[in-house]
Amino acid sequence: MNFVQFLGALEIGLVYSFVAMGGYLSFRVLNFADLTVDGSFPLGAAVCATLITMGVNPAIATFAAALAGAMAGFTTAWIATRLNILHLLASILTMTALYSLNLRIMGKPNVSLLGEPTLFNGIFNSVPTVIVLAVLTSVILLVLYYFLKTQVGLAVRATGNNNRMARAQSINDQHCIWLGISVSNALVAFAGALFAQLNGFADVTLGVGTIIIGLAALIIGEALLSARTVMRALIACVGGTIIYRLVITQALNVNGFGLKASDLNLITAVIVTLAMLVPHFKQKIKQGGRP
């Protein structure tokens, strides 16, 4: 893996760190199995790319993409809570609907951003892309950390931990779920908008496997860095995503194994399986037994 490949893996890892943080918020904080991210990621890319091609400022287009993702997340949460549909099924319904909606937004399967101004070649043209992404990641991480420390954030965490106890403390658990899943998908759509601007296109199939990438990063980060606090959990999301992308890049560049880009999902499955075994080995080692 040369320096260019390392830099590319680092940039993509920072972009997908928002997906991991969104997954942490839904799966870990709220205990909500949400597959909407496979639809909200391309939704963010579609909204952002379409608005940019219409002459909208890239920063405004990125914000609009995050807002669209929040609306998608709210839809899933509303279906799950108000219609009493299983979380997983509610998210699948929204994800399925978003495929058609993304096609409607773009008007075609993909939109090119070649020659169009973006955050990276327009507003922050003089700043290296990796620096821009690192600053954005740090800012969002801190904002999410302080949000989860506020009274509202604590209510969201209490809802995910024990919704019955939360209701006993006069917390509206439905509103907390709406807010948490909306923020989660806003982060994912934000990542989709950054991905589209970084790679110069938006495609309706961008969301395939997004949830797997987010969960892989989350599991790897938690396996390597014990997520005992909110801050450590968020840092684990970012670190896990970067490590995941670096491992994927290295695996695809190792000679002798015959791996191809089409083997990405296979490599991901192997990495996630190994990451899930790490806590087991750690526990066995602490107990003085064999793994």
Q: Measure CA of the first residue to CA of the last residue in the chain; give whole Å.
A: 32
* Arch. (CATH architecture) of 8-286: Orthogonal Bundle (1.10)
Name the residue with higher pLDDT: 226 or 91. Answer: 91
User: What percent helix, strand, coil does the chain show, rounded to 5?
Assistant: 75, 0, 20
pLDDT at position 164, please? 87
Please say whether the beta carbons of 24 and 233 come within 8 A.
Answer: yes
pLDDT digits (tens, 9 = 90+) for 5-28: 888 889 999 999 999 999 999 999
pLDDT at position 102, please? 94
In three-state secondary structure terms, 202 is: strand
Q: For residues 124 and 118, give the distance between their C-alpha atoms in angstroms, rounded to a whole number.
A: 9
Report which of 73, 97, 100 is spatially closest to residue 87, judged by C-alpha positions: 73
Place of tokens 């993509």: 12
In this structure, what DSSP letter does residue 92 have? H
pLDDT at position 261, please? 67
**For 28-55, what is the mean pLDDT?**
93
pLDDT at position 254, please? 66
Distances (CA, A) of 109 to 41, 62, 104, 201, 290: 15, 20, 9, 11, 52
pLDDT at position 212, please? 83
pLDDT at 256 over 60: no
CB neighbours of 59 closer than 8 A, spacing ≥ 6? 119, 123
pLDDT at position 39, please? 93
Read off the pLDDT band of 121 (50, 70, 90): confident
Across the chain, the runs of DSSP E, i.e. the strands, are: 110-112, 201-203
Question: Which range among 48-62, 184-198, 201-215 shows the weakest confidence by mean pLDDT?
Answer: 201-215
Read off the pLDDT band of 263 (50, 70, 90): confident
**For 223-229, what is the mean pLDDT?**
77
Distances (CA, A) of 243 to 59, 127, 167: 28, 24, 39
Domain boundaries of the chain, sorted by first residue: 8-286
pLDDT at position 218, please? 86
pLDDT digits (tens, 9 = 90+) for 141-179: 999 999 999 999 999 999 998 888 888 888 899 999 999
Chain-centroid distance of CA 84 in Å reads 26
pLDDT at position 124, please? 80
| Tokens at 85, concatenated | 């549909």
Please say whether the beta carbons of 230 and 148 come within 8 A.
Answer: yes
Report which of 136, 137, 179 is spatially closest to residue 154, judged by C-alpha positions: 179
